[in-house]
Structure 1
């Protein structure tokens, strides 16, 4: 599968890969209109577990079992509207101290519900037709079918609708708005919609909003603590759209960053037959910088979170995939380069990882050389001492014969310059010692 077919070339994502930084889009609604929207709330439909939010509903306006609570004040035609009344209405409809309207948020959530096929009609994947019961059955990573209802390539969102849901994505960066969306059952609702749509951009937006909501530790811990929820999210790694993959890798990294959830998430990731292959597919084939960034951060985090996962994943293919991604990024994103160098170094904590690095010595050297050249250009190396130490350790992992590669490059000069710039302190003592060993 080439990169264009895989959908990994163009940058569709608006996301930051860090779980502490909510995704930002550029469709912020006009504050003057936020408090004037009205909404007809749907009736609730009960369901036994989260995946049933993707099953047929008895109510055309309901997608999940969570009721949307319309708490916005009402005025009838006989009421006398005074300035005090309008002020109270404004305060009652505002979310916290923001200018965002409860009615506006509810109206967008209802529109999201109504935008997907809530009648339970079969979804299409290529020329196949699958039912809801088969939605999660695509297990071959080579097919790279979406974890929801199809690859949806060529399907475009209606522009005005996209603008409205992106406005909700923007607003979900606000902690008060995020809490309000969560209170309305927004995570179940958005997951259900993402599973049912054939439109990758819509899936990306739904997952992006969820990613913003779970920047709140409380929301995340309350929302993703079961194996079934974990499997449902991981299914989206089968998608081939860069925007969707960017959001789901960011979402998985956020959940795994909370220690309380690792006992649920890490076993599911290790048992999965496709998670590692999906990450390799991205690292080896993507030219999308945002996607490579979120995937690199996720990989580095996973390798450090579980020794069992590290032992199960380490192989030559993984080292080569990391090197491919690093060569793609080169000096365009220093933080991603740090994550990739750190990931290679983490692999050497296992004997098999050392063997794999030795087998890929030329590629590893090229990655480290590029990284050191980027470090040399920094005004201060204080922010990357740990990764810089890891990079130098990688050099010393190589055999004497393989170190000839170092001397054929400008690395020795680069290392001397870095050693001069690094402030002598207990924190840099190990680094200076490693550099001196390399130069001797």
Structure 2
């Protein structure tokens, strides 16, 4: 290679390098924080939405309601907004959007849009922004925005409601944050006090056939019940019905192989029981539980069957969560007791689940604590059943159980109410029958001595 040619190539490389550096600097100058996202592009997209929003409004299209007719979103605008939706998951982009008053624009979309896709994207962006604590609290403080969001839960567009559920679920988490001023926490409490929200969640759980929506709503309901006050005015009857129907729908939508459910569905079963348990600590729900005894028995029967299969196939980490769910389910079972005959199938399932948890009862970790709690509550169930039912009826019920299930129930009773158990066994001996109960009891006593 000639010297002149070499010098020419080196000069070209230097010029290209300088050009690239200049381009990088221009890109960096327009970039948001340390990202490569262009702030000017975001501003242009927001301006474009602002300019075109009137054409998607109720007044412009002479629609009385959003559902009476639906307008298709322009493909170009949809592409840009979907990209903005993806970008809004980034923390720095989220704060950039907040600084450019995205909440006011989103409020206009919620109030005016008759384009379901536009509304879905608008709510979806808000759900991403709510992941940022400061923005989440600002959304909670905007009562007009929250009211609009909750009112939209009556929409017929399931994809929009899915995003609303995501948004509300993100916002509920801030009610536990003590680092913010009381007024901000109070704003979250007002969300929990909104009866329209409870009614909407109950309606979705009771009527929706959309699995994704049911999964999200089950999670939302669980989080709502974790933060509710004991004097909360909620539609207990509607919610109880919704929980039961949601479990049925999630079962029927995944029924090819028994209990072989996707992870999200399994988590939803656990979330529904957790919500049910949280409600069951309230007197009005306890009354509804007893009134709907047959439906609750069916709900519990499925869940204990699900737990029995899941406990056998789970890792130790998964087992801790499942055992906590078992404690909640057996607590609900305790509440269902009345003078009406007991469902033998559920009692047997309770015993079988307990027999799987028995090896973990003695220990110091969370799993052992939950297993011990389960055993103690089963012992309390035994005592309550003795109080409610005639001796002969209860002995006959125990005699009909599988030996393994019976053994756990008697072991739990021996730990919790040994004197009451002894009275029952003495009654069995005096009658000269119920040999299975007597023999299983004697085996439990021998094992306890060891």
TM-score, structure 1 as length reference: 0.69
How far did 1:361 drift?
2.1
For 1:410 and 1:427, the matched residues in 2 are separated by 21
Give the SS at the match of 2:54. Answer: coil
For 1:329 and 1:423, the matched residues in 2 are separated by 35
Question: In the alignment, what sits opposite 1:176?
Answer: 92
2:290 matches 1:347 = no
Pairing partner for 1:367 from 278, 289, 299: 299
How far did 1:285 drift?
0.7
CA contact (8 A) 1:152 1:199 kept: no
Question: In the alignment, what sits opposite 1:72?
Answer: none
Pairing partner for 1:187 from 91, 103, 116: 103
How far did 1:249 drift?
2.1
CA offset digits 1:22-61 (Å, max 9, x no partner) = xxxxxxxxxxxxxxxxxxxxxxxxxxxxxxxxxxxxxxxx
How far did 1:338 drift?
1.6
CA contact (8 A) 1:238 1:278 kept: yes
For 1:237 and 1:308, the matched residues in 2 are separated by 25
Counterpart mapping for 1:176-325 below 5 A? 176-259=92-175, 261-267=184-190, 270-272=193-195, 274-307=196-229, 310=232, 312-325=233-246
How far did 1:402 drift?
4.9
How far did 1:437 drift?
5.4
Question: In the alignment, what sits opposite 1:398?
Answer: 336
How far did 1:110 drift?
2.2
Stretches of structure 1 that go unaligned for 5 or more consecutive residues are: 1-80, 131-148
How far did 1:436 drift?
5.4
Pairing partner for 1:434 from 377, 387, 409: 377
How far did 1:421 drift?
6.3
Alpha carbons of 1:232 and 1:121: their partners in 2 closer, same or farther (altered >3 Å)?
closer
CA contact (8 A) 1:365 1:406 kept: no
For 2:71 and 2:231, the matched residues in 1 are separated by 37
CA offset digits 1:359-401 (Å, max 9, x no partner) = 2222222223333333332333113433221111111112264
Alpha carbons of 1:230 and 1:340: their partners in 2 closer, same or farther (altered >3 Å)?
same
Question: In the alignment, what sits opposite 2:40?
Answer: 103
For 1:340 and 1:119, the matched residues in 2 are separated by 38
Alpha carbons of 1:365 and 1:113: their partners in 2 closer, same or farther (altered >3 Å)?
same
CA contact (8 A) 1:342 1:390 kept: yes
Question: In the alignment, what sits opposite 2:351?
Answer: 412
State the aligned residue count.
337
- Once the two structures are overlaid, the 10-residue window that deviates more, 206-215 or 424-433, is 424-433
2:305 matches 1:382 = no
Question: In the alignment, what sits opposite 1:328?
Answer: 249
How far did 1:234 drift?
1.9
For 2:158 and 2:165, the matched residues in 1 are separated by 10
For 2:344 and 2:78, the matched residues in 1 are separated by 52
For 1:396 and 1:215, the matched residues in 2 are separated by 38
2:9 matches 1:93 = no
CA contact (8 A) 1:123 1:150 kept: no
CA contact (8 A) 2:354 2:375 kept: no
CA offset digits 1:101-159 (Å, max 9, x no partner) = 222222322222233117977156xxx755xxxxxxxxxxxxxxxxxx61265543344
Higher helix share: 2
Question: In the alignment, what sits opposite 2:54?
Answer: 117
CA offset digits 1:224-252 (Å, max 9, x no partner) = 31433332222212212111111112222
Give the SS at the match of 1:112. Answer: helix
CA contact (8 A) 2:85 2:121 kept: yes
Q: Please tell me the root mean square deviation across aligned C-alpha atoms, in Å.
A: 2.8
Give the SS at the match of 1:313. Answer: coil
CA contact (8 A) 2:110 2:148 kept: no
TM-score, structure 2 as length reference: 0.67
Alpha carbons of 1:159 and 1:119: their partners in 2 closer, same or farther (altered >3 Å)?
closer
Alpha carbons of 1:289 and 1:262: their partners in 2 closer, same or farther (altered >3 Å)?
farther
CA contact (8 A) 2:56 2:115 kept: no
Give the SS at the match of 1:198. Answer: coil
User: Which structure has the bigger radius of gyration?
Assistant: 2
